[in-house]
Amino acid sequence: MHPLSGRRHIHRSIGVACAAVLLAACSSAADVGQTDEKSEPEVSSTPTMLSTVGLRLPLDAYDATREELAAVQEGQDALISQCMERFGFRYSPPRRLVSAATSKPNARIFGVVDPNEAAQYGYGVPGEAEAPARTPQNLTASEELALHGAPDLVPADMPKNQAEAEEKGGSKQKVNGRAVPIGGCGREAFLKLYAPEPNAVDALYVFNLKSQAESRTREDSRTKAVNKYWSDCMARKGHTVADPMNATTELGIADNALASPAAITAAKADVSCKKEVNLVGVYFAVQSAYQKRQINKNAETLNLAKQQLKDRLKLAASLISQP
């Protein structure tokens, strides 16, 4: 046995144990059903984990999956094409690209965690560099107007839902004798799918709740503690960095050098230290707790958002199936 292997095992055990104890200590101080938003929610258990592929957090149940989002986008493209046809234009929406970063939902939610990816790509995302550039479209002035509406349109003047848009009856601009929708065919397609009626839940509502939970998680005493364990581990491996969610910036790794030899060395250490202190397990447990609190607080709106997502998918499916 290598003389340092036993010490590494001890470091790992201490890191995981400290994280678990700190979670338990902090959790005991929190009330179940606590309504004080400044308090830290209770964490009943903390899994030991590293992989995040296929990981589901509580708010994911109210959000579109990657496949569902692609289906809605396809339906939106169909609505745009139908609208453009009203003005006498054959329009083919540009091909939408799914970036490598989003092809595996939550895979990088806690940074790089896969030791094989770290060893091969460093902090880079596999396949991201191969994504082809989006081809710009050459539109005539009339097509541009029909698609996007008046160029000087003030966002505040745009209809908030399709019912309002239909009541206003379109803009003052006309193409081939027809009034252009306020905001053009792109806006009309969006409203028909995402805001057909005044009670439509904001398209970014769930996303914003997730962002709030993520921000609270990063300020939580339990994640700050595990960050310190991770940082100490990284220091033992020769890297000075405090925040695992901002590692590349703190390490001075440029965006065009995410797969460089130096980045690969740092990323391998990063993943190893996350495993040693169970950083992913702590982050998952804490972030899940904040999301559950939001679900309890916003249950009515979230259930409405979930139903509207089902309606949106049903409409998109009917559009896609049309010849």
**What are the pLDDT tens digits along the chain (323 aa)?**
443 334 333 343 434 444 443 443 333 333 333 445 779 999 989 999 999 999 999 999 999 999 999 999 999 999 999 999 999 999 988 876 555 445 578 999 999 999 999 999 999 988 754 444 455 578 999 999 999 999 998 888 899 999 999 999 999 999 999 999 999 999 999 999 999 999 999 999 999 999 999 999 999 999 999 999 999 999 999 999 999 999 999 999 999 999 999 999 999 999 999 999 999 999 999 999 999 999 999 999 999 999 999 999 999 999 987 76
Q: Which domain holds residue 290?
A: 12-27+49-120+137-320
In a domain, 7, yes or no: no
CA distance 184 to 202: 20
Residue 130 lies in a domain: no
In a domain, 69, yes or no: yes
Residue 37 within a domain: no
How many other CB atoms are there within 10 angstroms of residue 22's CB atom?
A: 18
| In a domain? residue 109 | yes
Q: Is the pTM of this model over 0.75?
A: yes
Pairwise CA distance, residues 82 & 88, whole Å = 10
Residue 4 lies in a domain: no
Terminus-to-terminus CA distance in the chain, angstroms?
Answer: 68
In a domain, 105, yes or no: yes
CB atoms within 10 A of CB 241: 21
CA atoms of 145 and 181, how far apart (whole Å): 10
State both tokens at 67: 């496949």
Exposed / middle / buried, residue 99 (Cβ in 10 Å: 0-12, 13-18, 19+): exposed
Give a yes or no: residue 251 inside a domain.
yes
Domain count, the chain: 1
